Chains A and B, each alone.
Chain A
Amino acid sequence: MAKGVKPRVKVPKTAAAGDTVTVKTLISHKMESGQRHGDDGALIPRSIINRFTADFNGQNIIDVALETSISTNPYFEFEAVVPEAGEFQFTWYDDDGSVYEAKKKIAIA
């Protein structure tokens, strides 16, 4: 597992049923592109998060395939429909097989 990986997610705590809400996610990760050379001149091997998914109550919102041109600490902002109260689930998949998860509950106001 890559070191110091920490997901952060921002979603509203409440929404009206059927509302569209803005979701912002950030995960701290080096996203080593495989293009850089280390101090010894050797190529540093690629090590990135290659997939990100966001779901709500088991239904998909967005599914992103990440390539090496995504910046360090991948950031995504997008919009989701909230049909009922429930839980967002966010999942990041690392090249090394690690899976990072974050969950956020939202209530209907």
Chain B
Amino acid sequence: FAGLPAVPAFASLAEDAISEFTGGTAPGAGDLSISAPEIAENGNSVPIEFDAPGAVAVAIFADGNPTPKVGAFTFGPLSGSRFASTRIRLATTQNVIAIAQMEDGSFQRAEANVKVTIGGCGG
């Protein structure tokens, strides 16, 4: 295994993607909130929204998708709030995780569990 990069045991794809975003810093809790429906009948289009007061950027991850990165939102000088809403695909029942990068360089984490009836990555 000499050619493989060292990865910690049990590291999931989503946690890897999150570490990539945070640069390894452990996120804390804070004012960050994410909301998603408790049950999504159709995983092809699940509405989510987040509010991250004081954040400069927010990245969204879905820990049960084949590629856990969903998107990253960076706020500019004319952004009116640190809120955004979008629609995402979920392959199966899983957690949707928001990681906010704060102005002081720290990170916050929040997550919401969504039960998916029909997955959205099929074919």
Interface of A with B (CB < 8 Å)? 20-21, 33, 35-37, 44, 55-56, 59-72, 74-83
The interface residues of chain A, by DSSP majority, are classed as: strand
Interface of B with A (CB < 8 Å)? 44-46, 49, 62, 65-81, 83-90, 120-123
Q: Which residues of A contact B74 (CB under 8 A)?
A: 62-65
Quote the shortest CB–CB distance from A17 to chain B (angstroms).
13
- Structural contact, B83 and A33, CB atoms closer than 8 A: no
- Structural contact, B80 and A65, CB atoms closer than 8 A: no
- Structural contact, B78 and A59, CB atoms closer than 8 A: yes
15 A-B interface contacts by CB (under 8 A):
A20-B80, A35-B67, A35-B121, A37-B123, A61-B78, A61-B80, A62-B84, A63-B74, A65-B71, A71-B45, A71-B120, A74-B86, A78-B79, A78-B80, A80-B80
- Structural contact, B121 and A78, CB atoms closer than 8 A: no
Q: Which residues of B contact A20 (CB under 8 A)?
A: 80-81
- Structural contact, A35 and B123, CB atoms closer than 8 A: yes
